[in-house]
Amino acid sequence: MMFISIKFIILLIAAVVIYFYTSLHLFKAVYKASDVIIDELFHIPQGIAFCERNFTRWDPKITTLPGLYVASTIISFFNLDCNTYNLRFVNLLASCMNLVIFSFLLKFIYGHTGSQIKIVLQAVSLAILPPLYFFSFVYYTETLSLLMLLIFSISSIVLKSYWLVFLNGGLCVLVRQTNVVWIAMMFGHRVIDLFIRSSRVYGNQYLNKTAIRRSIIANNIDSSKLKRYYNLSDVFIAVKYHISTCFVNVFKFLSLSEFVIMFQHALVLLGFVVFVYINGSIVVGDKSAHEATLHLPQMLYFLLFYGVFGLPYVLARFSSTLKLISRNKLKVVLLAVLFTAIVHFNTLVHPYLLADNRHYTFYIWNRWFGKYEYAKYAMIPAYIFLLFSLYDNLRDQNCVAFLLPYTIALFLTVGLQKLLDVRYFLVPYLISRLRFAKSSYKVATFEFLWYLAINVGMFYVFFNKEVKWVDFNAPQRIIW
């Protein structure tokens, strides 16, 4: 269990108070500017129905499970009106809770050596990550969905609860189905790590079979920093070893607490499989608008997302990344060929992207990617650089036990989506960002000011740029 100092608690309380009251003023301004923002046309009536305990009403246009609407029933417990203001306010409160959990996660990651002020500053930065921050003011699922994932992470990694993991995992999926992918990623992380560590101990011919292997030394042999250097070959070696021994030694290395946590992960995943079998799809409601489609360029667009919102970390390791690229010239050539083939043969355009001028992606596409034939190819050098940059920021703190399931999860969440939407990139970016190496005060401050500047610009556009839609009486506004 991590040590929490009084100084840390005071700093965190001060940060939450300032964050809440600052955001509250902005929240009221957003509410005054627009009472319905795009998909709220479906979400708000559904939220009001649940808030008023009308659980039989369901809009078939809604594709997510009813977690957000169930959470909104809390409004009626306080005898408050079931209206747009109070429904949106649920997400504002959730964003404050996200700030708190970000702080505790960073505190756990950095341990006793991390600066208290820097930890809280970075937690604030993550809370005001521009796309995430905006959705804290509207009635969408993003903010509450992230909160559930963060709570799940705390219960699984920090608290190592014997029963909260399953409960929180179920709530994660109830708010947003794709959260199951990140639950599977955490489960895969544990399984791969267990496979490799146990094979390195029990499959090591230099360890005495009867003495050392059953000793404390054997069980702790991979608690050192050596584990960060696991690579893909370690996975193959581990699998080969455990197949040859019928997997009996995996369980010798598995503690009771780890088994209970992994068992709860498995129950959540099994429950989701049953749901998909009964429902016939991962999507509820309007399945036609969200059919799984192979769209590999989405993985490349995620790299652009990282390049923009991870700019402080890209620049901090700029020289290191260039050196990494120079040492891997053959891989650069192979990536260039691969990325060229991907963008040439698999670039897809969803009708919503071309039709909805209320999103920044509409303007990015129509003024760059869709306007010039060469644009999608011109971005390939940027994709290659950003891929090496992302790996450069992760490699010192991670190994294949994280990178492999993370890459698979990233593909499942964004690589099968036809629609280009920045919301799909939020969780995968935050997961990678939480695993970056400790940053300096300079980088942490730059990150905070960078996000602040982007938010100022975004809200300026939101409040001052109006878009006319015949389907709406009130003017529409541009959002992420």
C-beta neighbour count of 110 within 10 angstroms = 16
Residue 455: both structure tokens together:
């938010």
Residue 147: both structure tokens together:
């909160």
Please state at what angle helix 164-175 crosses helix 179-202, rounded to 10 degrees.
Answer: 140
The contacts of residue 225 (CB under 8 Å, 6+ apart) are none
* CB-count burial class (<10 Å; 0-12, 13-18, 19+) for 121: buried
The count of residues in the chain is 480
Is-contact 448 464, C-beta < 8 A?
A: no
Cα 364-365-368 angle, rounded to 5 deg: 75
Q: What is the DSSP string of 60-123?
A: TT--S-THHHHHTTHHHHTT---SHHHHHHHHHHHHHHHHHHHHHHHHHHHGGGS-HHHHHHHH
Q: Write the CA distances from 222 to 149, 245, 319, 398, integer angstroms.
A: 28, 20, 31, 14
User: What is residue 350's DSSP assignment?
Assistant: -
Q: What is the pLDDT along the chain (480 residues), one digit of tens a residue?
A: 567 789 899 999 999 999 999 999 999 999 999 989 999 999 999 999 999 999 999 988 898 999 999 999 999 889 899 999 999 999 999 999 999 999 999 998 887 666 899 999 999 999 999 999 999 999 999 999 999 999 999 998 887 777 889 999 999 999 999 999 999 999 999 999 888 888 877 766 554 454 444 444 444 544 444 444 677 888 888 888 888 888 888 877 788 888 899 999 999 999 999 999 998 888 887 666 667 899 999 999 999 999 999 999 999 999 999 999 999 999 999 999 999 999 999 999 998 898 899 999 999 999 999 999 999 999 999 999 999 999 999 887 657 889 999 999 999 999 999 999 999 999 999 999 999 978 899 999 999 999 999 999 999 999 999 998 887 888 899 999
Q: How many CA atoms lie within 13 A of 47 on its CB side?
A: 29
The contacts of residue 59 (CB under 8 Å, 6+ apart) are 42, 45, 46, 285
* CB-count burial class (<10 Å; 0-12, 13-18, 19+) for 108: middle
Please state at what angle helix 380-394 crosses helix 297-309, rounded to 10 degrees.
Answer: 60
The contacts of residue 479 (CB under 8 Å, 6+ apart) are 37, 38, 134, 138, 358, 359, 360, 462
C-alpha–C-alpha distance, residues 474 and 480, integer Å: 19
Is-contact 62 283, C-beta < 8 A?
A: no
Is-contact 75 90, C-beta < 8 A?
A: yes
Coil, strand, or helix at residue 257?
Answer: helix
Q: What's the first-to-final CA gap in the chain, in angstroms?
A: 38
C-alpha–C-alpha distance, residues 456 and 438, integer Å: 27
C-alpha–C-alpha distance, residues 399 and 189, integer Å: 10
pLDDT at 182 (0 to 100): 97
Q: Tokens 């301004």 identify what position?
A: 29
C-beta neighbour count of 29 within 10 angstroms = 13
pLDDT at 229 (0 to 100): 60
pTM (two decimals): 0.91
User: What is residue 440's DSSP assignment?
Assistant: P
C-alpha–C-alpha distance, residues 134 and 40, integer Å: 14
C-alpha–C-alpha distance, residues 340 and 43, integer Å: 39
The contacts of residue 243 (CB under 8 Å, 6+ apart) are none
Residue 407: both structure tokens together:
């890459």
pLDDT at 223 (0 to 100): 46
pLDDT at 218 (0 to 100): 47
